[in-house]
Amino acid sequence: MLGAAIKYSYLNAKTRTMHSKRLRPSDWHILETARDRESFLHYLATTSYGPWITEILEQKEQGDELFERRIFAALFDDYRKILRSLRDSSARELVLALFSRFEAENLKIVLRAIFTGMSQSAVSHLLYPVERISRIPWQELWKQKNIRSAVKVLERTPFGQMLGNAVSQFEVQGRLFPLEMAIDLACFRRIASAANAIGSRTDRARVREILGSYIDVLNICHVARLRFIYGLSPEEALNYSYSGGNMDLRTLHDIARAKDLPSMAKVLPAPFRAIVQGASEEMSMLRLKLENWLVRRLRKAFLGMPFHLGVQVAHLLEKELEIRGIISLFQARVHAPAGQAGDFVPGIFLKGGEQIVQAG
């Protein structure tokens, strides 16, 4: 206990300071009632996101897409602060593995641009601003004229092996889907491997508990989307599920074989069964209900003994969900002003006080 307190006392205080800057329910209410794009952004500029909104307010062209990517710089700033304070290499690798999810999204966009012959300038506004942390050779990648040479450039990165294995499928199918799935799988295998490699038993247990909940939510949404929207077979959907969750392979297999959401709900463990049963057939509502449960779980990391890496992981994941909620509400204010915040944002963000720490 004393060793953990010494190890994490400074980082824990820093993380709690960052966590205290999340939006309040009153902030969400003001954003919900914003008249238009400009009033939404001008109010957001008065919150902790202010330093990253100025650039967006100054650029009208491609403004919406720029906002949806550049606001993530606020999250990446927290990643950098946490990485600077971590001395343990296994803990740093776990945080970098989490960050690699954003590198993965950028890689998909770059590969699609190479595949379709688009220029870097044509898609730059769609990319996450990962440069200050990422070690991917982005400029070298942009010089490539075909997918095989691009994969060659990525050979020595954490994505290299999985991409190399998927190239033949890409060439047979003539579409990027196998490469995109390979990128995702490489990313989540790295996260699972990093979590299992953490030296401290307490850190490892708390991190695996948090990440297990997060990956379970992802797998439910991911498998449902692959099965019910894209029409993949149960076997294909199962092959593309993510490792590292709390649900075992048998449960994932049962989920993948479900014909619709009601039948999926019947094979899910508690508490997911009740959540999915209460969701509509719309995938967006399923995601919101699961994210609402997940935020409750993440906030539990700040209760009890606070000196463990789970606090940092929970903060980063919750801030990411908050930013995604801001983007969803922004899109709604621009394109569907009649909607309410609860239609686009996990309900727990709209509530205050005592309701934030109880988890099912």
Go through the chain and tell me how many residues it has.
360
CA distance 39 to 327: 14
Domain boundaries, the chain: 1-85+310-349, 88-184, 198-301
Can you tell me the distance from the alpha carbon of 320 to that of 47, in angstroms, rounded to the nearest whole number? 16
The rounded distance, in Å, linking the Cα atoms of 290 and 279 is 9
Is residue 355 within 8 Å of residue 336, measured between CB atoms? no
Cβ atoms within 10 Å, residue 356 = 16
Largest Cα–Cα distance of the chain, in whole Å? Answer: 57
- Residue 68 half-sphere exposure toward CB, CA atoms < 13 A: 15
CA distances from 296 to 261, 293, 306, 346 (A): 23, 5, 16, 10
- Would you give per-residue pLDDT tens digits along the chain (360 residues)? 545 555 678 899 999 999 999 999 999 999 988 888 889 999 999 999 999 988 777 776 556 777 888 899 999 999 999 999 999 999 999 999 999 999 999 999 999 999 999 999 999 989 999 999 999 999 999 999 999 999 999 999 999 999 999 999 999 999 999 999 999 999 999 999 999 999 889 899 999 999 999 999 999 999 999 999 999 999 999 998 998 999 999 999 999 999 999 999 999 998 899 888 877 667 888 899 999 999 999 999 998 777 789 999 999 999 999 999 999 999 887 776 555 666 788 889 988 643 444 444
Q: Which two tokens stand for residue 302?
A: 């700040």
Helix (H) or strand (E) holding 315: helix 310-335
Report phi then psi at 86, rounded to 5: -90, 130
Cβ 263 vs Cβ 197: under 8 Å: no
pTM, full prediction = 0.92
- Backbone CA torsion sign across 228, 230, 234, 239: negative
CATH fold of 198-301 reads V-type ATP synthase subunit C fold (1.20.1690)
Handedness of CA 14, 16, 19, 25 (dihedral sign): negative
Distances (CA, A) of 193 to 90, 93, 97, 331, 353: 10, 10, 9, 36, 36
- Nearest CA to 50 out of 78, 25, 21, 84 is that of 21
Residues 6+ apart with CB under 8 A from 343: 332
Q: Where are the alpha helices (DSSP H) in 1-88?
A: 2-19, 25-32, 37-44, 50-58, 63-70, 73-85
pLDDT of residue 336: 64
What pLDDT shows up at residue 101?
98
Amino acid 115 reads F
Structure tokens at 330: 């922004």
CA distances from 163 to 93, 118, 153, 193 (A): 21, 21, 11, 18
